[in-house]
């Protein structure tokens, strides 16, 4: 018998699935040990102040079946292609229930593509440092290993995650992706997750952006309504490199997108922008820790929340400026539009600054639609629901507009548009 | 009455301000026949702007009595957008800024919304641009103002011109101009007045709210009304403007008291 009682909620269902592999990999063993001791966090733990994973502890998530229903997967993929007007010509890597599906994938030229092998080869990072990464570490089986050679512009890639939940039994999958851009390389990734049924998607990205390289990462989380989504990005940016990320959260009952970025050399730039559009009883959490570990780095963060029904949005943003990181330029803005009396936003900005010559600003706003603006639009003959749509889209526009890649920007713009139209219908 | 166009009778309205009701309109009587331009003058706080908001359908005011009809229809029963479709237009004293909303897109959305509601064909992008260019030229507005967000970063004068541009594009039959002259220099005033005057027609009426006789040199009204303490206390011809300018409101206030 295991005598350890975890501080949080027992992760026994996940740990049981790991039992057969125990002792084969020290990184995984440490992650398992951490989960055994800490458990899944209840809200209140500092890093999980407003989000509880209690619901996960209650569900015996099973491993995904070896062969998912082909017709169901096909329906989900074509549904996503239509809903988001995806460009059929864009190279794509498709993962079904966390496993690479070569038959649905067409990979781009100029990149070296491999499959996830073993954890200790992939990263020097300690994957057990956060709960979602630890959970991924013990159960990861597959993932994309993508290398763009120095100086190569690899264009765009659609990374499509399909969750095909079986009837009755909730499943979980834990893909682990690694993206490496050599010096001066470039790539734009459209990271879309969709699905149906009950499942937990727990992807982890290890990202290394080389000197002067440029990685665009536009994520659209459009999981099934009954799904859970727990994603973590660990990114390290080299001198003059850019990681331009945007996370659009639309789906899942419970979601958390967690970003850990290290600006590791002078002139590195990161954008951790996003929008959370929630309704019903959805709960979504965007948590970021941006570490300025070198001088002259720049971090930019604009996060918008549009919340209706009983939805709850969470934003936690920490900027850590180390002693060496002089001339740091950090900006953080979190804004929420509450469309109902019962929607809620929780925001926790944190600045931790050890250098003395820095510029860091942060701000937060919470509000409803401005009745004066609504009246102005209506007085010009625009009917009320259209006036509301104009104001909500305007609120979101200046965040989505920050996406550097124009094709990705247009795709997310359409996603926002159709989200509102669907909601408004 | 066949000539009935704008008819306001005994109109009372209040606003709730921090839990206490404040009565602002206390029985406004006003008739504006088709084809006429009327002006309302009066001291601050007399209810002039409230009257314009109540007619346009702003929700924070509660109508507690009286009637307001336009072309025989009960205005007070209509949504703000339905009033606009019927032909009512309010040029705001302080137009709001709409960050993230492109001015040209906004204007085209509004124009097509009222056109749809009036059973007219919508304007496509080309036809709209042609129409709007004609008007901006008339009002000496730069094309740049169409590309910017609605009223964001506009000077006071630019905002007022933008209101007049909207008025002309929406082709109203009853326009209320709430202190459209404030913040305008003399050249801008002329341009704005010309924008109103050229709309004058047998089926167009306007109500001009102003503090200054100066505007009424350019937009000569058929009637002038003096408003105080929520009521029209005196009405007269265009010569009344000069009289008010010379003598102030004191005499009328004393008479009404």
How many Å is the Cα radius of gyration of chain B? 18
Chain center to CA of A251: 12
pLDDT given at position B212: 85
Place of tokens 């990374």: A159
Considering only CB atoms, B58 lies closest to which of A370, A375, A387, namely: A375
Residue A18 has what pLDDT?
92
Element (H or E) spanning A249, and its range?
strand A242-249
- Which single residue is written with the structure tokens 């992939």? A122
Interchain proximity A383–B113, CB inside 8 Å: yes
Q: Determine, for residues B110 and A391 on separate chains, whether the beta-carbon distance falls below 8 Å.
A: no
| Distance between CA atoms of residues A147 and B151, nearest Å | 48
Cα angle A333-A307-A364, degrees, rounded to a multiple of 5: 20
- Residues of B within 8 A of A372 (CB-CB) are 96
Residues in CB range of B119: below 8 A, 6 or more apart? none
Set of chain B residues whose Cβ sits within 8 Å of the Cβ of A417 = none
* Backbone Cα Rg of chain A: 21
CB contact under 8 A, A381 and B99: no
Of A378, A380, A395, the CB nearest to B170: A380
Residue B9 zone, left/alpha/beta (φ > 0; ψ -120 to 50; rest): beta
The ipTM value here is: 0.96
Nearest to A270 by CA among A357, A221, A329: A329
Q: Which pLDDT belongs to residue B255?
A: 78
Mean pLDDT value across chain B: 93
For B87, the closest chain A residue by CA position comes to: A381
Q: What is the pLDDT of residue B1?
A: 44
Q: Which residues contact A191 (CB under 8 A, 6 or more apart)?
A: A159, A161, A217, A218, A219, A220
Q: Tens digit of pLDDT for each residue in A149-201?
A: 999 999 999 999 999 987 778 999 999 999 999 999 999 999 999 999 999 99
Which residue in A has a C-alpha nearest to residue B80's C-alpha?
A379
Greatest distance between any 2 Cα atoms in chain A: 71
On the question of pLDDT at B140 being above 50, the answer is yes
Q: Do B80 and A398 touch (CB under 8 A)?
A: no
- The pLDDT score that the predictor gives to residue B182 is 83
Across the interface, of A373, A375, A381, the residue whose CB is closest to B85 is A381
- A208: helix, strand or coil: strand
| CB proximity B63 to A under 8 Å | no
Q: What's the rounded Cα separation, in Å, for the pair A317 and A303? A: 10
Q: Which of residues 81-120 of B touch A (CB under 8 A)?
A: 81, 83-85, 89-90, 92, 95-96, 98-101, 106, 109-110, 113-114, 117
φ/ψ of A21, rounded to 5, equals -100, -5
pLDDT for the residue numbered B257: 67
User: Cβ contacts of residue B247 below 8 Å, gap of 6+?
Assistant: none
Point out the residue among B98, B99, B117 whose CB comes nearest to the CB of A381. Answer: B117
* Residue among B81, B92, B96 minimizing CB distance to A382: B81
Alpha carbon of A73 to those of A84, A160, A175, A280: distances in Å? 17, 12, 17, 26
CA A108 to centroid of chain Cα atoms: 23
- Phi, then psi, of B228 in degrees rounded to 5: -155, 140
* Inter-chain residue contact A383 with B57, CB threshold 8 Å: no
In contact, A360 and A328? CB cutoff 8 Å: yes
**pLDDT for the residue numbered A407:** 94
Record: contact A384-B109, CB cut-off 8 A: no
- How would you classify the pairing of strands A254-263 and A228-237? parallel
Does residue B3 surpass a pLDDT of 60?
A: no
Q: Could you give the CA distance from residue B140 to residue B158 in angstroms, rounded to a whole number?
A: 10
Closest Cβ–Cβ partner in A373, A379, A391 for B84? A379
Q: pLDDT of chain A along its 425 residues, tens only?
A: 445 677 788 899 999 999 988 888 888 888 999 999 989 998 778 889 999 998 888 888 999 887 888 999 999 999 999 999 998 899 999 999 999 999 999 988 777 777 776 655 445 555 556 899 999 999 998 999 999 999 999 999 999 999 998 777 899 999 999 999 999 999 999 999 999 999 999 999 999 999 999 999 999 999 999 999 999 999 999 999 999 999 999 999 999 999 999 999 999 999 999 999 999 999 999 999 999 999 999 999 999 999 999 999 999 999 999 999 999 999 999 999 999 999 999 999 999 999 999 999 999 999 999 999 999 999 999 999 999 999 999 999 889 999 999 999 999 999 998 888 777 65
What letter would DSSP give residue A61?
A: P
Tokens at A143, concatenated: 């993932």
DSSP A284-326: EEEEEEEEE-STT-EEEEEEEEEE-TT-EEEEEEEEEE-TT-T
B79·A373 Cβ contact <8 A: no
B2 pLDDT band (50/70/90 cuts)?
very low
State residue A313 phi and psi, 5-degree precision. -110, 145
SS3 category, B128: helix
pLDDT of residue B248: 87
Segment holding A251, helix H or strand E:
none
How far is Cα A244 from Cα A239, in angstroms, rounded to an integer?
15
Strand order in the sheet with A214-222: A99-100, A92-96, A153-164, A186-196, A214-222, A242-249, A269-278, A298-307, A328-338, A358-367
The burial class, CB within 10 Å (0-12 / 13-18 / 19+), for B256 is middle
Residue B4 has pLDDT above 90, yes or no: no
- Quick one: what percent of chain B has pLDDT higher than 90? 77
What are phi and psi for residue A114, nearest 5 degrees? Answer: -135, -175
Cβ atoms of A338 and A277 closer than 8 Å:
no
Give percent above pLDDT 90 in chain A. Answer: 79
Alpha carbon distance B192, B159 (integer Å): 11
Q: Where are the domains of chain A?
A: 12-365
Phi, psi of A125 (to 5 degrees): -65, 155
Contacting residues for B230 by C-beta, under 8 A, at least 6 apart: B12, B23, B24, B25, B26, B27, B28, B46, B47, B50
SS3 state at A406: helix
Whether B57 has its CB under 8 Å from any CB of chain A: the answer is: yes
**How many Å apart are CA B226 and CA A220, to the nearest integer?**
60
Question: Cβ contact (<8 Å) for B100 and A393?
Answer: yes
Q: Are A306 and A278 in contact (CB under 8 A)?
A: yes
Residues 6+ apart with CB under 8 A from A74: none
Burial of A28 (0-12, 13-18, 19+ CB in 10 A): buried
Residue of B nearest to A375 (CA): B58
Q: What's the predicted TM-score (pTM) here?
A: 0.88
**Domains, chain B:** 6-97+172-256 (3.40.50.300)
């Amino acid at each position: 018998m295991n005598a350890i009682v975890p501080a949080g909620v027992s992760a026994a269902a996940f740990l049981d699935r790991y039992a057969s592999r125990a002792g084969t990999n020290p990184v995984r063993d440490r992650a398992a040990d951490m989960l055994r001791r800490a458990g899944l966090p209840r809200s209140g733990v500092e890093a999980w102040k407003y989000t509880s994973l209690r619901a996960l502890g209650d569900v015996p998530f099973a491993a995904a079946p070896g062969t998912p229903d082909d017709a169901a997967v096909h329906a989900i993929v074509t549904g996503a292609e239509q809903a988001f007007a995806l460009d059929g010509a864009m190279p794509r890597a498709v993962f079904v229930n966390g496993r690479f599906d070569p038959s649905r994938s067409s990979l781009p030229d100029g990149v070296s593509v491999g499959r996830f092998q073993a954890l200790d080869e992939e990263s020097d990072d300690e994957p057990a440092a956060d709960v979602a990464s630890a959970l991924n570490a013990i159960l990861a089986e597959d993932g994309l290993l993508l290398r763009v050679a120095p100086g190569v512009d690899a264009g765009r890639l659609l990374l499509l995650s399909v969750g095909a939940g079986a009837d009755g039994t909730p499943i979980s999958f834990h893909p682990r992706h690694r993206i490496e851009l050599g010096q001066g390389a470039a790539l734009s990734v459209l990271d879309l997750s969709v699905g149906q049924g009950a499942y937990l998607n727990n992807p982890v990205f290890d990202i290394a952006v080389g000197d002067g390289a440029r990685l665009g990462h536009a994520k659209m989380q459009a999981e099934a309504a009954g799904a859970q989504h727990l994603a973590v990005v660990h990114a390290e940016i080299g001198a003059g490199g850019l990681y331009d990320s945007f996370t659009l959260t639309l789906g899942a009952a419970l979601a958390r997108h967690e970003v850990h970025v290290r600006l590791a050399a002078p002139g590195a730039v990161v954008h951790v922008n996003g929008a959370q559009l929630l309704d019903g009883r959805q709960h979504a959490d965007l948590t970021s820790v941006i570490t300025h570990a070198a001088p002259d780095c720049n971090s930019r963060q604009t996060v918008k929340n549009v919340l209706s029904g009983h939805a709850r949005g969470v934003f936690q943003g920490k900027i850590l400026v180390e002693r060496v990181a002089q001339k740091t330029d950090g900006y953080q803005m979190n804004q929420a539009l509450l469309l109902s009396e019962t929607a809620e936003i929780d925001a926790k900005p944190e600045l931790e600054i050890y250098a003395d010559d820095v510029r860091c600003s942060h701000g937060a706003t919470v509000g409803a639609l401005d009745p004066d603006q609504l009246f102005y639009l209506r007085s010009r003959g625009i009917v009320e629901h259209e006036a509301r749509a104009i104001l909500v889209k305007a609120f979101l526009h200046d965040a989505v507009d920050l996406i550097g890649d124009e094709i990705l920007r247009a795709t997310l713009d359409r996603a926002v548009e159709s989200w509102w139209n669907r909601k408004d219908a | 009455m066949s000539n009935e166009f704008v008819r306001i009778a005994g109109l009372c309205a209040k606003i709730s301000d921090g839990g206490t009701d404040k009565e602002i309109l206390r029985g406004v009587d006003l008739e504006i026949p088709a084809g006429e331009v009327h002006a309302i003058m009066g001291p601050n706080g007399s209810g002039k702007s409230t009257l314009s908001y109540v007619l346009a359908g702003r929700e924070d005011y509660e109508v507690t009595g009286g009637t307001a009809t336009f072309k025989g229809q009960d205005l007070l029963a209509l949504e703000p957008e339905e009033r606009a479709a019927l032909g009512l237009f309010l040029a705001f004293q302080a137009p709001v800024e709409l960050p993230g909303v492109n001015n040209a897109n906004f204007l085209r959305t509004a124009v097509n919304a009222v056109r749809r509601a009036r059973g007219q064909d919508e304007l496509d992008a080309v036809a709209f641009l042609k129409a709007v260019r004609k008007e901006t030229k008339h009002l000496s507005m730069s094309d740049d103002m169409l590309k910017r967000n609605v009223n964001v970063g506009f000077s006071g004068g630019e905002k007022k011109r933008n209101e007049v541009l909207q008025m002309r594009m929406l082709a109203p039959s009853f326009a209320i101009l709430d202190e459209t002259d404030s913040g305008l220099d003399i050249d801008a005033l002329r341009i704005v007045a010309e924008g109103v005057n050229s709309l004058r027609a047998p089926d167009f009426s306007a109500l001009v709210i102003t503090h200054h006789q100066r505007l009424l040199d350019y937009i000569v009204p058929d009637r002038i009304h003096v408003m105080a303490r929520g009521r029209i206390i005196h009405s007269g011809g265009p010569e009344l403007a000069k009289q008010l300018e010379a003598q102030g409101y004191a005499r009328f206030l004393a008479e009404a008291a």
